[in-house]
A and B are shown apart, each in its own frame.
Chain A
């Protein structure tokens, strides 16, 4: 927004300048700006008019039933899908414009277990943004640091085909964190791992967020994790059903609108 100040008094100018500074600062502080995003695939509306804003250092949990468009929204944030309508900014740029500032942990179920690779190579691929043929000493040290951070140093030389779900999740997390991203996006990282591994993952994310002032966006089916670890929750079912702090977004009427019922998560639901 451009404001003309040619005929205003110095005090008004000062006030305007202050307001513009505050707006600019708020924009700098904004990590995700999603405005009116709609995606249509075939004759199905996968996302309809989705809008929300997320500030720096927040932990956003995206929840919703199967087919709610959660993974589609992640693909939009990563620049893998271009919305039919709407506007998206990630870290102040178009989605996909700054991949080195974004760490991505995909759904583990999409992973090809026949690929010959070690956990070390997987982590280094996150550093280089290409697959390593030879690994330099500095790359090995950085990868080791990242694996250490997620408690998985012992996995370094292990073929990824032989890792358990929880170990693989740690290796992928190390891969995402090795580039020291400002934004970490995780798409159902707990699928196929036990509750202990999921618990560890959430704590590792919190530690990283605290140490690096990063922003976390995590798609999850675990309402308890959303309530206890997230600073914001986006309840999605093609449209935004609720968005805000857990105590607001996880209200019964919100969840009933998204899921149809609240199932057995009575201890999580805010009455």
Chain B
């Protein structure tokens, strides 16, 4: 066991574990509401929207490279994804379209814009690695990435915990919550905005696919084992953190990509939950 844990003596493994755990905490809390509201597609949609934002950030960085106006694409990606998330919330709120349809529209538009922005940058000046953005690498989390993830996770966790009772009530029944004086519409927009920041910051580091998995699979597995929403939230966080630890260990031991190992471990837990669900 000591030998097994010794793999975390490496600084890059410590950063991967800490970063993954921080992402697991915020996505577990957030994923509970995403899954319970039937918004599982939201993580994918926002992660792809962040691709458009990161591409725009890269384009701005390229066009202003002489002045050094902007060097970090994330500075553009965060507001871009935030606008996309609020636009999705607005379409849900103001039209009769379903969430999936609204997300699907912005998903496609953002990816198209991303491809367009990247095509305007000469290949030798392009700082965006599309493969990395899609699949990421949790093992490549740098000290600066880790600081950003930890700060985002702390902020998101605090916000979700502060609004948990109201968010849960609005998730249970928006009409009852409104009748009890809760500003459900504002909470909906806030949830989408928090999800946007979570997704864009995490996706840049761990990749769009792993990000979407973190947001949905632990919460879905926890849902199958839980009798209350608070148990589902705690369960989602625990499953996210333990599968990060387990996935990193497995990936190191048998030399497979860490992101894939984490997702497959999460999927195994989900399968186990589906097979043993208390009905």
Contacts and interface: CB of A to CB of B under 8 A. Distances in A.
25 contacts: A80-B178, A96-B179, A99-B179, A99-B181, A104-B176, A104-B179, A106-B175, A110-B173, A110-B175, A111-B173, A112-B173, A116-B223, A116-B232, A118-B227, A121-B228, A125-B176, A129-B169, A130-B182, A131-B164, A131-B166, A131-B167, A131-B171, A131-B172, A133-B165, A133-B230
Interface in A118-177: 118, 121, 125, 128-134, 159
10 A-B pairs with least C-beta separation: A130-B165, A131-B168, A129-B180, A131-B169, A78-B179, A133-B230, A99-B181, A99-B180, A116-B226, A130-B169
B72 to A, nearest CB: 37
Q: Of residues A104, A118, A131, which shows the largest number of chain B Cβ atoms within 10 Å of its Cβ? A: A131
Contacts of B176: 104, 106, 125
Interface of B: 36, 164-169, 171-173, 175-176, 178-182, 223, 226-232
A115 interface: yes
Contacts of A128: 165
Contacts of A129: 169, 180-182
User: Chain A at the B interface: mostly helix, strand, loop or mixed?
Assistant: loop
Interface of A: 78-80, 96, 99, 102, 104, 106, 110-112, 114-118, 121, 125, 128-134, 159
Nearest to A103: B179
A79 B175 CA distance: 10
B225 to A, nearest CB: 9
A102 B179 CA distance: 9
B227 A132 contact: no
A265 B32 CA distance: 48
Given A106-B175, A133-B165, A117 B182 contact: no
B182 A118 contact: no
A116 B232 CA distance: 8
Contacts of B231: 116
Contacts of A110: 173, 175
A104 B181 CA distance: 13
Nearest to B163: A130
B238 to A, nearest CB: 16
B5 to A, nearest CB: 33
Contact of B36 (A115, A130, A133): A115
